[in-house]
Structure 1
Amino acid sequence: MTGFARYAELQVTSHFSFLRGASSCEELFAQAALLGIEALAVVDRNSLAGIVRAHEAAKTTGVRLIVGCRLDLADGMSILVYPTDRPAYSRLCRLLSLGKGRAGKAKCHLEWDDVVAYGEGLIAVLVPDEADDLCAVRLRRLREAFVDRAYLALTLRRRPNDQLRL
């Protein structure tokens, strides 16, 4: 689409994130194509369940798929992770298997140390609730562990205090 800024949505949740996402990957990618969005990152919660369908939808629509996952850790920290290559994808799969093996059906129990142990080749993006002291501590930890692959997500939530929060 000429004249429009290039845009990639880096935090899409599909219906594979139970009670969080509502749309199928096919619907998400079809809508992205209509809007001229170049890429979608499917980051379901503690799961890669939507990736196969997202891959098929990406091929059908021409919208690029960015493979990712939202990790909700036991301490309340949430990070988006994106594998940069196949070995990193394999480590992410093993990390999720570890967390699901600890927690039982439909749950995942991951600690920060688990993420660090399996984090080679992952891009990590902190998704804070608020820009407070806890956010600063978590961002420092992320930077120490992921160095040049650590980022902070700023999300417009359409709430009254958005300008102050950003």
Structure 2
Amino acid sequence: MDSRRFHGPIDLHAHSSVSDGTETPGELVQAAAAAGLGTIALTDHDSTAGWAAAASAARTAGVTLIPGMELSTRLQHSSVHLLAYLFDPADPALLAETTRIRDARMSRAEEIVEHIGRDYALSWDDVLAQSTEGATIGRPHIADALVARGHEPNRSAAFEGILHWRSGYVKPHYAPDPVTGVRLVRAAGGVPVLAHPGTRGAMNVLSESELKRLVEAGLFGLEIEHRENLSDAKERLRVLADRFGLAVTGSSDYHGAGKPNRLGENTTAPEVLEALIAEARGSEPVYAG
């Protein structure tokens, strides 16, 4: 691996308007360049639709692109997300599963809007107005619609208010269990990393025995340096990463104006990215021209 290709900070978790970010894939890459990053991973929720546009921008922006995705999985009643890198986007099994997840997410979003609309002025057209064509529509778009309607001051407040599970409006959508997710990513030639596993919700369900099952299925690493991971959880996760031989990554989870997260606020070491690329069999990084 030629480490000279990684000439700046590495951020392995960012979203575009293909899912719930506010910038197009090309704009995201340009923002990464402006932020001084050397490498950015595009990890839209359950979709690879932004890969081509991001790759085109990366070739001229002086930024290395790691094509990826944030795959939805579910353990018990909690969401457990996987960051999947450098897999084959045409892999039939993974493609079928992400299609099923997106369809379920769309149906769930429509049901949420219907329920909220009984108590607040909100319609499906309001939500569509906050998304781009072909985007994976979910709660962030509903949150933006609530903000646009004046029901909430910002997206974060919407998630803590009307869109919180305690409100009764939100129901879970279909997603495979994490072990299945890891196996699907590996079978597609990709490399799976557990996204922000130290948040309050994830810590409630991800036991050491559950993590062991993921490692046995092919988990590569843990995203420990992330603003939503709790401090005590980070300490525990580093112990577990060492115990199971897992790589440690750091990322921003950037969503443009959709979240306060800033590009490059957490980064990944070059040697970790080199090891990740060495294990990938499904696709390749896009290096700057």
TM-score by length of 1: 0.74
Which residue, out of 15, 22, 28, partners 1:13? 15
Q: Where is the strand percentage greater, Structure 1 or Structure 2?
A: 1
Q: Is the 8 Å Cα contact of residues 192 and 220 (structure 2) preserved in structure 1?
A: yes
Segments of 5+ residues of structure 1 without an aligned counterpart are none
Bigger CA drift: 95-104 or 70-79? 95-104
CA deviation string 1:92-140 (max 9, x = no partner): 4343234446666657733126425533222111121247363234422
| 1:50 CA drift (Å) | 1.4
1:152 partnered with 2:152: no
The answer for the alignment partner of 2:65 in structure 1 is 65
Residue 181 of structure 2 corresponds to 115
Q: Give the secondary-structure state (helix, strand or coil) at the position aligned to 2:8.
A: coil
Q: Tell whether 2:76 aligns with 1:89.
A: no
Rate the CA distance shift 1:7–1:110 in 2: closer, same or farther, 3 A: same
- TM-score (normalizing by structure 2): 0.46
* Per-residue deviation, 1:71: 0.9
Q: Secondary structure at the match of 2:227?
A: coil
1:126 alignment partner, one of 181, 194, 202: 194
> Contact (CA 8 Å) 2:43, 2:69: kept in 1 or not?
yes
Give me the whole-angstrom Cα distance separating, in 1, the residues matched to 2:86 and 2:183: 14
Following TM superposition, by how much is the alpha carbon of 1:17 offset from its aligned partner in structure 2, in angstroms?
1.3
Q: Unpaired segments of 5 or more residues in structure 2?
A: 1-6, 108-136, 139-172, 235-289
Equivalents in 2 of 1:103, 1:24: separation in Å?
21
Instruction: State the distance in 2 between where 1:13 and 1:102 align.
Output: 20
CA contact (8 A) 1:95 1:115 kept: no
How far residue 28 of structure 1 moved from its aligned partner, in angstroms, is: 1.6
Contact 2:40/2:63, CA 8 A, preserved across alignment: yes
Q: Equivalent pairs: percent with the same residue?
A: 26
Aligned to 1:140: 212
Residue-by-residue CA offset, 1:14-73 (whole Å, 9 max, x unaligned): 11113xx11222222112212321111100011112112111111221211111100111
User: SS where residue 71 of structure 1 aligns?
Assistant: strand
Aligned equivalents of 2:74, 2:29: Cα separation in 1: 31
Is 1:31 aligned to residue 39 of structure 2?
Answer: no
| 1:46 aligns to 2:111 (yes or no) | no
Task: Say if 2:127 is the partner of 1:56.
Answer: no
How far, CA to CA, are the matches of 1:42 and 1:97 in structure 2? 18
Query: Which is higher, the Rg of structure 1 or of structure 2?
Result: 2
**Backbone CA RMSD of aligned residues:** 2.8
How many equivalent residue pairs?
153
What letter corresponds to residue 175 of structure 2 in structure 1? L
